[in-house]
Structure 1
Amino acid sequence: ANIAHGCNSVVATTTALKLADYVVTEAGFGADLGAEKFFDIKCRKAGLHPAAAVIVATVRAMKMNGGVKKEDLGKENIEAVRKGCLNLGRHIENVKQFGVPAVVAINHFTTDTETEIQAMKDFVKAQGAEAILCKHWAQGSAGIEDLARKVVEIAESGASQFSPLYPDEMPLFEKVNTIVKRIYRGDEAIADKSIRDQLHAWEQAGYGHLPVCMAK
């Protein structure tokens, strides 16, 4: 993954698509940072149409988002998992806004309990998706077969109706505002007149059709 926009090159992806039946791209960190840029910039400009998305999550991350300190993550805490899952829910919503069906991969840790794992699975199911436990760290490829089969199932179903978040012809500042509201859940984007004038100048120069690359 490239640190700037969160995904590998167009050349790498298009080459891989000619050589394999299924191509997996690591689209950076988060469905707000990596996925948004992958969908809105790379897929738009390269004419790519993703068939499925995998959102990687851990029980530990849910507990940390639920308010548990790092030194206490090894202790079972079902309530913190459920509370932290609200963060995961936003990422699922973000991916679905692009019309791409998602599956959640639970990256397993030895401290995870069955009850905590089930709490995550139940939450994801309530969001209309499926969470699959992955143990490739211990079992190699055998530990992730279930996820691979699910991704193939989704990809082959034709369920994906991929569409970028905004159209090319939308004004640049409105593109920024769209990302702020729909991905980051902000009320609105605010910019000084000098910034708005700069964006307008770029539009007048013929660059208004370009996508926007936003840092968080």
Structure 2
Amino acid sequence: ALVWRFVLTTGTGSIFGFLVARQAYQSALLAPLFIVLSFGWGLAVFLVVQAAMFAWNERRLPPEVERRVARLLGIFIAASLYLVAVYHVTNLYFARQQDFVSFILLSGGIYPLLFWGGYVIVGSVVPLLLLFHPRLIGQRATLAAAVLAILGAFAWLFVFIIGGQAFPLEIFPGHEVSSTFADGVVDRYAPSLPEFLLGVGGLGAAFLLTVVGVRVFDFLPQDDLAAAKP
């Protein structure tokens, strides 16, 4: 499963990395970045679903397991934030990328707001405080950090995918090209109702399958540590 996780997320990151026409992508860092992001976001989703299922079935993880999982989530979030920073700093070294970096981080309207407020603060800094501050460590703090990490994930994906395609496309690098069709105009995008329902429906279907699986097959992890104690 771990090997397949590496293969799958490497392929996803490489797809974006090979899109040389878009200044937002075309980077070899995207493959390892997607791997680390998938670990952090996947663990966050797992913790939220596990908390819901355990509350439903009146179960709870041993405290030592909760602490280890919380630290692991914090490590993944910190590593993801670091690689995202390296990705943007690396782009600043290339003169042709500076306009795009400025657009995403400073002057792009909703995109800098989602990046700094949604991903950096809500999705990374606050969860790290909840997971590592001595006075905040606990089950509720871990669950809150996981929820915030998921919200930050959606913010980053919106900035990366939508913002990366909204930035004007440079068709012929190093040359000036003019036409009568919206040269240099930043595209605007707002999800339509069918698109929104499609996304929510996918999440709902996944959660429904999980609920049915828990009830039919009873595959929730058992508290073997507690059962082994005399």
**What is the TM-score with the length of structure 2 in the denominator?**
0.32
Larger relative helix fraction: 2
Q: Decide which structure has the larger Cα Rg and report it.
A: 2
Larger relative strand fraction: 1
**What is the TM-score with the length of structure 1 in the denominator?**
0.33
